[in-house]
A and B are shown apart, each in its own frame.
Chain A
Amino acid sequence: MKPPPFSYHDPETLEQAVELLATLDNAKALAGGQSLMPMLNMRFVLPDHVVDLNRVSELSGIRRNGQTIEIGAMTRQRDLEFSSEIATACPLMSEALTHVGHRQTRNRGTIGGSLCHLDPAAELVCVAAALDAVVEVVGPNGRREIPFAEFPAGYMSPAIDFTELVSRVTFPVWPRETGHAFVEFSRRHGDFAIVSAAAMLLLDGAGRVSRAVLALGGVGAVPLRMHDVEAALIGQAPTAELIRRVSETCRTVEAVGDVYVPASYRQHLACVMSRRALETALSRADRSAAAA
């Protein structure tokens, strides 16, 4: 179980990295290595060139910018986990990170790597879907921004060209009064979720839902936004009964099945996890502030 032969490149600037990806044939970008390296060791991927992004320092960093928070693609999951900026501006991500892998993998794994790998069960992918993150990519033709809803082209395939690199991910900051919740069902701590749910609820002065988000990871081939559920909540008083009822509609989502988990079980979990996420988010939503 050893990596196949390849040539190795370790550019120091984004420009060099983009240049390399644009000119080399069959090149793979190496970020934190927590997904690519196992695939190399198992020879599931056979690149001629590996372009290592770990020396490109401009790709790392967390920056609050008014109502958004910008995260460099090579920012390590550990740095997000310990960032007070993230904890205040994006608590959903902080909570999701407690489910991401293990301390050794978070020390190396990056947000950009996770999004590009685009495992539908990955926590950060679900968070990006929930929060309508904006992915900035850089390629030979310069920069462009992709709303996350358009980022997945299919199962584990981002809608970017192989000459392009994700450079930055921008998350909107929700009001402090928002209730958030990230819950997941996995067999063991740190395993990929079988189903995860991310919810955000904001209440208006009358205690009705003014903004709502529900995203599901692990259910389908790509992370799912439950727009119907969101619409059904908005303007309503979020009673336990309502939450139960809207969550139950998730039973009809299109789900993938495999030898370990039948699709019907994923659909079942989609309901359970949705309800739990919405309930927790509601319990955390600040009614008094909204009322004030």
Chain B
Amino acid sequence: MDSVADTRTIELRVNGKAYSRPAPVRMTLSDFLRHELKLTGTHVGCEHGVCGACTILFDGRSARSCLMLAVQANGHEITTVEGLANGKDMHPLQAALSDHHGLQCGFCTPGMLTTLVELLNDNPSPSAEDVRVAISGNLCRCTGYEGIVAATLDAAQKMRAGAGGRS
């Protein structure tokens, strides 16, 4: 907690759950999610808006949570990686990333997933090029992106066919 700067109580919904929590006004949304709400699935890789590891869905739109203040989320709805699975059932994108070895260390994965969830909402039948462009702002040092692109095309196809996730 921060005793120097101003503090405000923030009310928001994260992954469908309502929270009301005080936070210093200078606290970034990524830190608030990770350290105040203990939702540590959202990762922080650069804190200057380049790596995309901190990507969350803000009112359904992908956003870099290191480039937002927690106070800006007051009254808004957020989805993080923890909110993608349906109980034990993984989201089709999660299952596909595992099938296609689209993750190694997994550090970039939460940001990839949230970004790609938005892509598939916008465009249920993306091309490989669409997928590459969609994640051009998400850096991965491990995979070379190939497995991620393949997984996304696979998941999109399964989602179009109406198949669910995997538990």
Direct touching of A and B (C-beta under 8 Å): yes
Question: Hey, which bits of chain A sit against chain B, CB under 8 A?
Answer: 1-8, 10, 30, 33-34, 37-38, 40-42, 50, 52, 54, 78, 101-105, 107-108, 188-190
Bound state CA distance, A107 and B49, in angstroms? 13
B90, CB-defined interface residue at 8 Å: no
Contact of A41 with B66 in the complex, beta carbons under 8 Å: yes
Bound state CA distance, A38 and B28, in angstroms? 11
Tell me the minimal C-beta distance from A133 to chain B in angstroms. Answer: 26
Contact of A6 with B5 in the complex, beta carbons under 8 Å: yes
Bound state CA distance, A50 and B26, in angstroms? 9
As a 0/1 sequence over residues 95 to 118 of chain B, the CB contacts with chain A under 8 angstroms (1 = contact) are 000000000000000000001001
Q: Which residues of chain B are near A102, meaning CB under 8 Å?
A: 52, 136-138
Given contacts A7-B25, A33-B67, A108-B64, contact A38 B52 (CB under 8 A): no
Given contacts A6-B5, A38-B48, A188-B136, contact A104 B64 (CB under 8 A): yes
Contact of A10 with B71 in the complex, beta carbons under 8 Å: yes
Bound state CA distance, A230 and B52, in angstroms? 41
Q: A107-B58, A108-B64 are in contact. List 7 more A-B contacts (CB 8 A).
A: A37-B69, A38-B67, A54-B72, A104-B55, A104-B62, A107-B61, A190-B136
Q: Please name the residue on chain A nearest to B60 by beta carbon.
A: A107
Q: Which residues of chain B are near A4, meaning CB under 8 Å?
A: 26
3 shortest interchain CB distances as A-B pairs: A102-B137, A8-B25, A5-B5
What are 5 A-B contacts defined by CB distance under 8 Å?
A2-B28, A7-B5, A37-B67, A103-B62, A105-B49
Q: Which residues of chain A are near B72, meaning CB under 8 Å?
A: 10, 33, 52, 54
Contact of B8 with A190 in the complex, beta carbons under 8 Å: no
Q: Which of B45-65 contact A (CB under 8 A)?
A: 47-49, 52, 55, 58, 61-64
B68, CB-defined interface residue at 8 Å: yes
Q: Which residues of chain A are near B47, meaning CB under 8 Å?
A: 1-2, 38, 41
Q: Which residues of chain B are near A190, meaning CB under 8 Å?
A: 136-137
B151, CB-defined interface residue at 8 Å: no
Bound state CA distance, A224 and B134, in angstroms? 31
Q: Which residues of chain B are near A1, meaning CB under 8 Å?
A: 47-48
Tell me the minimal C-beta distance from B32 to chain A in angstroms. Answer: 12
Bound state CA distance, A2 and B49, in angstroms? 13
Bound state CA distance, A232 and B47, in angstroms? 47
As a 0/1 sequence over residues 21 to 44 of chain B, the CB contacts with chain A under 8 angstroms (1 = contact) are 000011110010000000000000
Contact of A103 with B115 in the complex, beta carbons under 8 Å: yes
Contact of B26 with A107 in the complex, beta carbons under 8 Å: no
Tell me the minimal C-beta distance from A47 to chain B in angstroms. Answer: 10
Given contacts A37-B67, A41-B66, A42-B48, contact A104 B6 (CB under 8 A): no
Tell me the minimal C-beta distance from A102 to chain B in angstroms. Answer: 3
Q: Which residues of chain B are near A41, meaning CB under 8 Å?
A: 28, 47-48, 66
Contact of A189 with B136 in the complex, beta carbons under 8 Å: yes
Tell me the minimal C-beta distance from B11 to chain A in angstroms. Answer: 14
Contact of B62 with A107 in the complex, beta carbons under 8 Å: yes
Contact of A34 with B6 in the complex, beta carbons under 8 Å: no
Tell me the minimal C-beta distance from A106 to chain B in angstroms. Answer: 9
Bound state CA distance, A30 and B71, in angstroms? 13
Q: Which residues of chain B are near A105, meaning CB under 8 Å?
A: 49, 64, 67, 137
B1, CB-defined interface residue at 8 Å: no
Q: Please name the residue on chain A nearest to B48 by beta carbon.
A: A38
Q: Please name the residue on chain B nearest to A107 by beta carbon.
A: B61
Q: Please name the residue on chain A nearest to B6 by beta carbon.
A: A7
B119, CB-defined interface residue at 8 Å: yes
Partner of A5, one of B26, B67, B134: B26
Contact of B134 with A3 in the complex, beta carbons under 8 Å: no
Bound state CA distance, A104 and B62, in angstroms? 5
Q: Which residues of chain A are near B26, meaning CB under 8 Å?
A: 2-6, 8, 40
Contact of B48 with A108 in the complex, beta carbons under 8 Å: no
Contact of A5 with B4 in the complex, beta carbons under 8 Å: yes
Given contacts A42-B48, A102-B52, contact A3 B28 (CB under 8 A): yes
